[in-house]
């Protein structure tokens, strides 16, 4: 009887551990998507209050923003590395005439990221730019650090 109880105990512990890990990953994914949506909303709300056009979501911009966010995570720092090549490739897919991006690292929510961008003249100019479309990518590195890329285009 003892071995059967031990096997059952190990199975229950293993099941709970695996389920908890899966739930953590799902919760983390939902949080990142929420932050992406909140950041896009903050940018659009600011633009509308300042008589600028609302930015439409672009799945192609999202693809390129995700690729750049992955690149920053792999290097452990924010950058605009390879922007010219990225903008050229991106432009050929959407026929863009104007492209810009904002990046950030280590903020844990949309509002703090937005406020940091607004405190920077260069980042604020991108938010206020003559753009029609955008997408935000937010991802976490294995150490839990958040990385952000927002692409804008017209």
Distance separating the N- and C-terminal Cα atoms of the chain: 71
**Could you give the dihedral angle defined by the CA atoms of residues 40, 50, 104 and 92, in that order, rounded to the nearest 10 degrees?**
70
**Can you give the pTM of this predicted structure?**
0.80
Reported as a single tens digit per residue, the pLDDT across 70-109 is 999 999 999 999 999 999 999 999 999 999 999 999 998 9
3-state secondary structure of 147: strand
On the 0-12 / 13-18 / 19+ scale of CB atoms within 10 A, 151 is: buried
Query: How is the chain split into domains, by residue range?
Result: 33-153
Pick the CATH number of 33-153 from 1.10.1660.10, 3.40.33.10, 1.10.10.10, 1.20.1560.10: 3.40.33.10
Residue 79 to residues 1, 70, 71, 85, 105, Cα–Cα distance (Å) = 61, 11, 9, 14, 10
User: Per residue in 43-57, pLDDT tens?
Assistant: 999 999 999 999 999
Query: What gap in Å lies between CA 79 and CA 83, rounded to an integer?
Result: 9
């Amino acid at each position: 009887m003892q071995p059967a109880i031990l096997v059952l105990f190990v199975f229950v512990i293993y099941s709970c551990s695996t389920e908890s890990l899966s739930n953590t990953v799902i919760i983390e994914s939902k949080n990142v998507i929420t932050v992406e949506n909140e950041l896009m909303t903050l940018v659009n709300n600011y633009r509308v209050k300042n008589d600028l056009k609302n930015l439409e979501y672009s799945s192609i911009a999202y693809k390129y923003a995700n690729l750049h966010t992955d690149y920053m995570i792999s290097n452990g720092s924010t950058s605009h590395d390879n922007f010219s090549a990225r903008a050229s490739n991106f432009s050929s897919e959407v026929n863009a005439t104007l492209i810009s991006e904002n990046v950030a690292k280590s903020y844990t929510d949309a509002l703090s990221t937005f406020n940091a961008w607004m405190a920077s003249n260069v980042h604020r100019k991108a938010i206020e730019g003559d753009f029609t479309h955008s997408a935000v990518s937010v991802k976490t590195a294995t150490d839990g650090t958040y990385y952000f890329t927002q692409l804008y285009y017209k």
